[in-house]
Amino acid sequence: MTKSSVLGYPRIGADREWKKALEAFWSGKLEEPEFHRQLQEIRLNHLRKQQEKGIDLIPVNDFSYYDHVLDTAAMFGIIPKRFDYEGGVVPLSVYYGVARGTKDAAASEMTKWFNTNYHYIVPELDGATLVLAENKPLIAYREAKERLGIEGKPVIVGPLTFLKLSKGYRSEELDVWLSRLLPLYVQMLQELAREGVQWVQIDEPILVTSVSNDDIRRLKTIYTTFAASVPDLNIMMQTYFESAEHYSDIVALPVKGIGLDFVHGLSGNLASIQAYGFPADKVLGAGIVDGRGIWKAPLRDKLSLLHKLAETVSPDRLIVQSSCSLLHVPVTAKSETKLAPELRHALAFAEEKLEELALLTKALTHDEIAVADELERCDRALQALKLSSERNRSDIQQAVSAVSAADAGRSRPFAERHQEQQKRWQLPLFPTTTIGSFPQTAEVRKARQQWRKREWTSERYAAFIREQIEVWIKLQEEIGLDVLVHGEFERTDMVEFFGEKLAGFAFTQNGWVQSYGSRCVKPPIIFGDVAFEGAMTVEETKYAQSLTERPVKGMLTGPITIMNWSFVREDISREQIAYQLAYALRQEVEALEGAGIGMIQVDEPAVREGLPLKQAEQANYLAWAVKAFRIATSTVKPSTQIHTHMCYCEFHDMIDSIEAMDADVISIETSRSHGELIHSFETSTYKLGIGLGVYDIHSPRVPRVEEMTGMIDRALRVLDPKLFWINPDCGLKTRGFEETVASLRNMVEATQLARRKHAE
């Protein structure tokens, strides 16, 4: 009989209860016992929900106090030496120290989980003594069974994926670390088997990337060892986010089940099954419902696909499941009552996806007649969205087609632009600036809320924003920054703000998803054709510039980032969506320049995260991503300086594309990776302006001058001093007032030291 399952469930709660508990604990408002109690209540509620919706195999150990990769590292005692850890179960103070930093120790690096907007904490193996400090999956299994009678499916990050995502070792040492780690996995699995666990989900998403033959050898070693050590434990070796590489090797592993993504990896995985079949002794975990998208599944198409799979895999060996963890979508669409009906009825968040999985399983097990009404409702909802006038704007489609067909590039090469810009601005050696935002204090958030509730008039709110701009322009001048920003106090989010001012967007009331730690974002929905409707940032930027003789940057979010940090329509390509956004942003760039703003920053922190996991598809993506940026920025005068910003990612494999964007200045996050990105510039020359972030804004600690000086000195060994800028690694919206000012003062002091050194 066909069963249903999900690969993981959102942690944050329908009303972000999880976020609120974490932040209360961090601020000292919640004692540790009460903190544990509240998180347990949230966790059990999530399990109950899946139980009530009829999910057969319910995941446990997918819940986390911060991040599941950090959980795995803590489970094996992998804590960086700079933290006060003496073995045993990792205390919360150390756990959160690794994630967020402490007064005396920098946080571990944070980067994107494959090509999603979720960030994980990178494990540091250097110097670690591995031990099974705590069997977290066993604890989670016992809790679900004892409290709710659920025979849970423990979820574990697989050994190969864990090691490939870790740092602190040389590539030739991978087998050594595997030999240390593998016995601990075996110990953990044996304890689960003795407990009576039926199914274990071991996640190996690394297998959808271009893994080597050596990695496949390691994979065989891992799962052969598991089979010998826990022969009666049903292991579902799970892949997701794309089609599996080395399909024949993977399906030959001695495991009970293989999980494949039939949404984002549909063509590749289906082709593999049709070409090579599927083992008769294994269960297929068919990822049929999109775990990353918010749209209602086309149920008839999904059933057709399941029937096609059933030609190769008998229904009793099929598990109908989500394509990946539902961590990446909001919790429930029930509260989205303010959206237009054609949009609202086409949405499916995590809770609704549980219903889709149960319905598809029922249809496959019994008959489509049993779910005929649901299928009809789904058809009507998707057809209404397809016919929406917002999706059929011929004026926008024609204009964007013409723009995207033309070449996009600045009128003069960088060397000539740089001379004109230096003549215009007369900037000192190593100009200092920030990335754009300043602290969004409780006062700022309250004012915005009062304005949105119409308790404040728009005039009063605009006056309040001007007051904040005045304060921070004066502060930036006092601190000694060279290029200023207005602070973005009018913006809730760097994507939402622009979406609210462009056609083709919709916004949820409660569509929150976890980005990193307690940081949750509410991605806009791009459901129609995107169009410019009027100036979006000119008023605040122009006002800020009127307060100072120093240059003030206009601040925009780039087309690729807006797209990658939104939930997007599926009826046209992402390339076309990017060009629509770029055309709209071009009109805003031109409006800023027309208002006298001579420096314009178009941030693209999410370019790297959109990079396809398949190498064969990466060059095409980078080509149109670069083109979209150039469409947005290429029409300005040579003397207008275009900036951009990127963060949270590995950039060594796309330096050429970054340079092809032809921004006059790019700032890149490097602080959490401890300057490792600088190595990329030791092997290749970068000829444009660049600022490598010299301190981590995601940690509440104030960096010392010496730390930033070390980062600057190393960068200047490989970068042209005449083109080098100094800045934090990201925006400062989430930081407190005092720490922000103190950190920026230290940054300026480090800059002054560097200027004196290089002036000699």
Question: Which residue ranges make up the annotated binding site for Zn(2+)?
Answer: 645, 647, 669, 730
How many secondary structure helices (H) and strands (E) does the chain include? 27, 21
Listed in sequence order, the residues at least 6 apart from 466 whose beta carbon sits closer than 8 Å to its beta carbon are 543
Encoded tokens for 324: 């990946």
- Cα–Cα distance for residue pair 694/726, rounded to 1 Å: 7
Tokens 């780039």 sit at which residue? 558
Side-chain half-sphere CA neighbours of 221 within 13 A: 14
Collapsing DSSP to helix, strand or coil, 641 comes out as strand
Report the distance separating Cα 513 and Cα 527, nearest Å. Answer: 18
DSSP 430: S
Binding residues: 16-19, 112, 435-437, 488, 519-520, 565, 603, 609, 645, 647, 669, 730
Whether the Cβ atoms of residue 119 and residue 112 lie closer than 8 Å to each other: yes
In the DSSP assignment, the letter for residue 246 is: S
Farthest CA pair distance, the chain: 83
Cα gap 18→231, rounded to integer Å: 37
Phi-psi region of 296 (alpha: psi -120 to 50; beta: other; left: phi over 0): beta
**Which of 119, 246, 698, 758 is labelled catalytic?**
698
- Assign 625 to helix, strand or coil: helix
Told to judge if 698 belongs to the known catalytic residues of this protein, a careful annotator would answer yes
Give, for 16, the enclosing helix (H) or strand (E).
none
Q: How far is CA 224 from CA 195, 283, 317, 616, 722, in A?
A: 22, 17, 22, 31, 56
| CA 15 and chain centroid, separation | 21
Q: Which of 201, 241, 510, 240 is nearest to 349 (CA)?
A: 510
Q: Which residues are annotated as a binding site for L-homocysteine?
A: 435-437, 488, 603
Is there a contact between 273 and 310 (Cβ–Cβ < 8 Å)? no
Binding residues for L-methionine: 435-437, 488, 603
Q: Which residues contact 156 (CB under 8 A, 6 or more apart)?
A: 61, 72, 137, 185, 188, 200, 201, 202, 203
Neighbours of 271 (CB within 10 A): 12
The one-letter amino acid at 628: A
**Selection from 336, 429, 344, 339 nearest residue 380 by Cα:** 344
How far apart CA 566 and CA 496 sit, in angstroms, is: 9
CA 528, CA 568: separation in Å to the nearest integer?
9
Strand partners for 202: 156, 237
Give, in order, the Cα–Cα distances in Å from 222 to each of 161, 179, 196, 219, 370: 11, 10, 22, 5, 43
Q: Is the dihedral of CA 600, 605, 606, 607 positive or negative?
A: positive
Contact status, residue 545 vs residue 361, Cβ threshold 8 Å: no
User: Letter for the amino acid at 310?
Assistant: A
d(CA 327, CA 315): 27
Residue 367, class by beta-carbon neighbours within 10 Å (0-12 exposed, 13-18 middle, 19+ buried)? Answer: exposed
Which residue in 564, 555, 560, 635 sits closest to 602, CA to CA? 555
Q: At what angle do helices 458-479 and 442-452 cross, to 10 degrees?
A: 160
Distance CA 14, CA 349 (A): 11
Annotation: binding site for 5-methyltetrahydropteroyltri-L-glutamate: 16-19, 112, 519-520, 565, 609
Contact 498, 335 (CB under 8 A): no
**Residues catalogued as catalytic:** 698
